[in-house]
Structure 1
């Protein structure tokens, strides 16, 4: 599949990212600021000695920085600036950019540049709908197949979540939240289910960072996680499915107030013809 990033207009990418503001009305994404805000230092997120492909590491580092709000919507990115940061050639950076465009968190404006996209409320709801379909099915299977050792891992994860909550460490909490859902998929030997929804839930993850802890208190999310674990421990598929569904629908409650609090971070809403939460 040909991506906009594979075409030639890297000249436009570099000029927009090197400080020249793109005039509004000619395609400037809302949120682009002038002078340009420096990119966060992500060098510690990438290891040239790792066996993991460098492009994949750069993709993950940039995606996490976008999710965490370290790069606001409208932030320009250039291949040169990112490749200089990591001391690599432009090719792995280009590969990372292509994946970020496909994940819906970057946009390419030909002859203007590459920018962090605003959050699409509709894509948040669509991602949640697909994630719910997959993870409720995983929860049902896990309620039948999960072992005592795997339940112990989930219990330990919950304890760490509570510790992160007491410290108000949202970054640690969200990492543990990711691990929590991964462990449930792993319990049925279907990590592919978790891997499948990584890009699908990209817009959800950006909202999650904005929602903590004011709109979605950590203690509330921990109680929802605990309810899932209780259902798995009871080996009750219907209860596990219901608990997972209720947990994943929490974002529908927080989406509107988060968008109201952060209007510059969100695109105009486009309601679905068929509501996806019913």
Structure 2
């Protein structure tokens, strides 16, 4: 399987370092499964597509390998890695612990303006239930990041990125195959608890929400078995 880079209008910003931009573009494509597991990535083709040299592409590949998203095989090429279930489970465990504390803090300090912001995000999610999975999941990211900001942990949200990557690969697959209405219901319950200042209730609802991926794994692995590995070989 070879890469297809023609379906998104990403453009390199010449005023910024190229390698981090390429890493971001390719990471997001892999997380969304636009570049499916097993896809061979060509330095030459990617460099040509983004009108850059091969060196920043090579640097981006190294970062993608460190993030567990691609496998660089000497003399054979670079390939998108399949999703490691063990990594997903570990990420879910840590993320749940962190976001449980975040949502409690949000419930204790939310303002009326911030409550309206969360309501606006929920409204956009309801409107996007039948839209593109990528757009729906972008709103999901906005939802969780906004709660972190309300909790005073906006700057720390980036530290969860490496944890979210493998988990988000499963979440994107589930968003394309499973009913999204249930995710909106869960988000709504979290927001109502936050707005009520119910820290215990908000934590409980957030934990239930983040454990949803554990229920989704058997469904998406059955639908896309070629996307997953049970353990490192």
TM-score normalised to structure 1 length: 0.79
Match of 1:172 in 2: 135
Q: 2:6 aligns with which of 30, 36, 41?
A: 41
* Residue 66 of structure 1: aligned partner: 30
Distance, in Å, in 2 between the alignment partners of 1:106 and 1:175 is: 22
Deviation at 1:52, TM superposition (A): 4.1
Given candidates 214, 218, 221, the residue that maps to 1:256 is 218
1:141 and 1:237 in contact (8 A); partners too:
yes
| Structure 1 position 212, deviation (Å) | 2.0
1:218 has 2:180 as partner = yes
Q: Separation in 2 of the partners of 1:208 and 1:120?
A: 14
In structure 2, relative to structure 1, the CA distance for the partners of 1:153 and 1:53 (3 Å cut) is farther
Q: Decide which structure has greater helix share.
A: 2
Q: When the two structures are aligned, how many residues end up with a matched partner?
A: 232
Of structures 1 and 2, the one with the larger relative CO (CA 8 A, separation 6+) is 2
Q: Secondary structure at the match of 1:198?
A: helix
Counterpart CA distance in 2 for 1:236 and 1:268 is 38
Shift of 1:146: 1.4
Q: How does 1:194-209 map onto structure 2 within 5 Å?
A: 194-209=157-172
Q: Separation in 1 of the partners of 2:16 and 2:104?
A: 33
The Cα shift of 1:269 comes to 4.4
Task: Determine which structure has more spread, i.e. the larger CA radius of gyration.
Answer: 1
Instruction: Return the match for 2:91 from 121, 127, 131.
Output: 127
